[in-house]
């Protein structure tokens, strides 16, 4: 799951990028949340530009589109939303608008993902949910993300959800709640 997160310019030339691409492309469910879709799209475009300058095109290094895009759509750019609505040469992106303003897009995304996990074939089990985000210096955002993580811990304990692991991508720090 990719929350609203801006990849730094140096990220595309960093070894972190290849690890992110491997994790993203091999995920059973690739899920962007509202403005996180902008970040994925922009990174895809940067990677395409860099590949176009190379004589040898390695398409396996490209980021695959999301399977699922959720949110209240207040942060996603119109061109990005249109792009994912009209995906060609790839499986269709499922777009689910979650308009409830009483909950964060991250909270609503976990709820939608939880429902989607029940429809996956048994041969593609999801053992954990990696949530890529940026602390970006906004304490209110960080506290909200941790609040959501705490809120869903009860679902993890009863195996209704796989463990949620937060990955602050720029700093590569990893966070999760430990059960009592």
pLDDT tens track for 91-147: 789 999 998 888 999 999 999 999 888 887 777 778 899 999 887 777 888 899 999
The whole-chain average pLDDT of the chain stands at 84
Percent of the chain with pLDDT over 70: 86
| HSE (side-chain half, CA atoms, 13 Å) at 89 | 1
- Look at residue 6 in the predicted model and tell me its pLDDT: 66
In this prediction the pTM is: 0.87
Q: Give the torsion sign (CA, 36, 171, 29, 127).
A: negative
CA distance 171 to 130: 15
Q: Do the beta carbons of residue 69 and residue 30 sit within 8 Å?
A: no
Q: Can you say how many angstroms the Cα of residue 40 is from the centroid of all Cα atoms in its chain?
A: 8
């Amino acid at each position: 799951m990719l929350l609203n997160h801006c990849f730094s310019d140096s990220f595309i030339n960093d070894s972190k990028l290849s690890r992110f691409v491997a994790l993203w492309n091999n995920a059973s469910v690739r899920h962007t949340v509202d403005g996180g879709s902008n970040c994925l799209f922009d990174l895809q475009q940067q990677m395409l530009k860099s590949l176009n300058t190379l004589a040898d095109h390695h398409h396996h290094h490209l980021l695959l589109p999301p399977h699922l895009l959720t949110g209240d759509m207040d942060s996603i750019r119109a061109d990005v939303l249109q792009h994912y609505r009209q995906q060609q040469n790839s499986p269709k992106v499922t777009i689910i608008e979650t308009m409830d303003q009483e909950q964060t897009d991250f909270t609503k995304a976990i709820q939608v993902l939880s429902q989607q996990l029940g429809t996956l074939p048994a041969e593609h089990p999801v053992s954990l949910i990696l949530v890529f985000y940026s602390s970006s210096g906004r304490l209110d955002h960080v506290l909200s993300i941790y609040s959501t993580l705490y809120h869903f811990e009860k679902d993890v304990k009863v195996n209704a959800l796989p463990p949620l692991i937060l990955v602050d991508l720029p700093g590569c720090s990893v966070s999760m709640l430990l059960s009592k």
